[in-house]
Amino acid sequence: MRAVALAILALALAGGGCRRVSLARPLDAGAAPVVSDQAPRAGDAGPSGLPEDPDAGLKSEAQWRKHMDWEERERQLSFDKNRIPQHRALIQWLASVRARYDRAKTKAAVERVRAEMPALRQDLQARTTAIDHWHANSPLLADYDAEMAELENAYPEAKISALGGDAKPLRALRARMDQRKKKMAEWLADAKDSEGE
């Protein structure tokens, strides 16, 4: 029985192939090719044979970009979810560096804190490398770097200016740094609530 079924199947495959007759005429070697005087329209078929709609294509591309941005954000949140304690410790460490400037009561005291910055920059580099060796998975690393850059340059200048009577630059800088700290805290809250591993 099995042999008969296999024989029928073999005959069907071998002899029963597509025998579609082409309706196209053979090309006459002397005939000129037909050229259309119409330019392709937006609804005409593209290389795939399917109609193309440029507006729908742009909308689809925008949706894809939005989806990929969401995927990247979720990936980064998942990465940081497993490192929340290290991030919190680093944020506290940066706050302690800022507090050193805030406790300085003279220009000389500000300059002493500023002189410590190269060593503190190396410490920051070691801490961020421990969190993300490639510096490509956590968006907070850019915030830490920006915070340290301000502590190295702008903050001591603003503190010296405040000691001289002009507190406006220091207030503006503190507001900017506080806003960044708030953004970092919100990111860590989102990471904690994420569906990461």
Reading the block at residue 9, the tokens are 């199947």
Single-letter amino acid, residue 89: A
Mean pLDDT of all residues in 158-182: 98
Distances (CA, A) of 40 to 43, 47, 57, 59, 153: 8, 12, 17, 21, 60
Number of neighbouring beta carbons within 10 Å of residue 187: 19
Judged against a pLDDT cut of 60, whether residue 39 lies above it is answered with: no
Global pTM value: 0.71
Mean pLDDT of all residues in 154-181: 98
Question: Do residues 191 and 139 lie in contact, with contact meaning Cβ atoms separated by under 8 Å?
Answer: no
Mean pLDDT of all residues in 77-103: 97
What is the per-residue pLDDT for 21?
Answer: 47
Q: How far apart are CA 34 and CA 110, in angstroms?
A: 84
Question: Do residues 52 and 41 lie in contact, with contact meaning Cβ atoms separated by under 8 Å?
Answer: no
Mean pLDDT of all residues in 120-136: 96
Angle (CA) 91 73 66, round 5° = 145
Q: How far apart are CA 186 and CA 135, in angstroms?
A: 20
What is the per-residue pLDDT for 51?
Answer: 76
Mean pLDDT of all residues in 46-68: 85
Higher pLDDT residue, 164 or 13?
164
Mean pLDDT score across all residues of the chain: 86
